[in-house]
Structures are given as structure tokens and as C-alpha cells.
Amino acid sequence: MAEPSQRRTKADIVYEALQSGIMSGAIAEGEHLRQQEIALRWGVSQTPVREAFRRLESEGLVAYEENRGVIVRGIPWTPPPSPIETLARRWNELVTDPDAVPGSDFP
């Protein structure tokens, strides 16, 4: 049996589903999230949905706009470059500029 602190609440489930949808792009930037529709879709009251919205807003994934409600802002950061892109860029620097080699005495 799970510890009380490890149990997922209804708000946790709604939050995780919305967060996953936003991060994957299934819920598009600029989309209007309607509290009643989400509550009906997940079979919960509106209270867990409001709590999920607050958590998403604190992460910058959604924003509350006056007279519009909750709007998806999208991912507030750009992912880092892939390791291969970083290696390719560094390799190019080393090949074109010998001074870029750390600790090199190469003339």
C-alpha cells in the first residue's frame, strides 16, 4: 500500500496530463483551456483543475488572461543542442582555430 505522501491526487493526475500534453505539443501554444471541459473529460470537479492550472502557471506553461481564462504559453525554454551538434561545433572550432586547443603549444 502506498504511503499517504506518495498517493497521486486528482489534481496531480490532471496536472500531469496537461503538462505532458503541453510539453509534447499535443496541446498547442495559444490554445484556450476551459476548466469545465477539462473537469468533464477527466471526471473530476473543477477544484483539481484549478489547482493544476495554478501549478502550470507557476511553471510558465500557461497564463491567466483577464476575460479570456487560461491560455497555453507553450514551453518557456528552448531545449539544449544535441550532443552531436555541440561536438560538431567544437570540432569545427578546433580545426579552424589552433588557438582554440586548450593548453596547446602548437605553433
How many domains does the chain fold into? Answer: 1
Nearest to 53 by CA among 99, 107, 65: 65
Residue 50 domain-assigned? yes
pLDDT digits (tens, 9 = 90+) for 47-99: 999 999 999 999 889 999 888 889 999 776 666 778 888 888 888 888 887 67
- Statement: residue 33 has pLDDT above 90: yes
Domain coverage including residue 18: 8-72
In a domain, 81, yes or no: no
105 is a domain residue = no
Q: Quick check: is 14 in a domain? A: yes
CB 35 within 8 A of CB 11: no
For residue 20, what is the domain's CATH number? 1.10.10.10
Residue 13 counted as domain residue:
yes
Cell output for 14:
490532471
